[in-house]
Chain A
Amino acid sequence: MATATTTPVSTVPKSKGRGLYWLGIGACLLGIALMIGQYAMHVLIVPWYLPAFTTLGAVLLLLSWRQRTSITRIVTFGLITTLAAFQWFFFISLTQLPVYQGPAQAGKVIPAFTTTLASGGTFTDKTLQDGTPTVLVFFRGRW
C-alpha cells in the first residue's frame, strides 16, 4: 500500500508584507540619497538622519518578516540592521573630537611658532602681529 508524503505548504501569500519590505529598502536608500545631496550642496553637518533612516528601514523589514518568513527577508533584515548598528557606532563614537584645551584661548597671545608656507616662505607668530586680523583654519587634509 502506497503512502503519500505531503510537504507543508505555507498558506501565507507571497505578497504579504512585500510593501513593508520595499518601504524598508526605500528608507535606507533615502538616507543615503539625502547624504549625497547634502555633501553635493556643500553642507558640512553630521548627517544624523542617515542612521535614523537605516534604523527605520530595519524596523520596516522586521515587520515585513513577521508578516511572512522568507530567506530573502531574513537576510535583508540582518544586513540592514548591521548597517544601522555600524552607522550609529561610527557617528556616535568615531567622529568625536576632543574639546580644545590648548593655549589658543580667547584673550591669550598666540603661542610662538615658526612654520612654512606653501610658497616656501616663513610663517610665524610674529606674522600674526602685523596689524591684519587673521582667521586660522586647521583642516584635516586633501583626501
Chain B
Amino acid sequence: MIELGELESHYAEFEKRRTRVVVISLEDQATAKETQSQFPHLLVVADDQRKMADAIEVIHRDSNPSGGDTTAPTTILVDGSGKVRWTFRPDRYLTRLTPEKVLAAVDEHLAAEKKR
C-alpha cells in the first residue's frame, strides 16, 4: 500500500499531465471500496473475477501470503487511443517504481498525448 500512497500524494503531478492513474488488484469490491476511500485520486478496480488481469496476463500464481494468486506488480502506460506505450515489471516484487519514475515515463512515452 506504500506504492498507492506515493502515487496518491503525487496526484497533482499526474493531473498536470492530464493522465489518470488506475490501480488494479484481485481483491473484491468491498476491499476495493476501502482502497478507493483511502486513495480518492486513484481509480481503483476490483478485478476479483480476473477479467482484466487474465486478459493482460499479469496473474502471479500462489503468491498471496494468505493463499491463492495475486497480480504481479506491473505498470503499463496506455495512450488515449488504447495503445500500450510502455510496460514495466520489476525483477523482484519488493521493488516498485517511485512516482517520480512513473512521471518520467509518462513524460517520455506519453509526450505526444500531453501536447494534445
Contact = CB atoms under 8 A, between A and B. Distances in A.
A141 B113 CA distance: 30
A8 interface: no
A114 B98 CA distance: 28
Give the interface size class of chain B.
Answer: 35 or more
A139 B93 contact: no
Interface string B25-53: 11101011111100000011111010111
Contacts of A111: 55-56
A116 B92 contact: no
Nearest to A47: B94
A4 interface: no
Given A96-B91, A110-B82, A118-B35, A135 B77 contact: yes
Contact of B58 (A102, A105, A106): A102
Closest 10 CB pairs of A and B: A102-B57, A118-B32, A44-B96, A129-B82, A113-B55, A118-B36, A138-B71, A118-B44, A131-B80, A100-B89
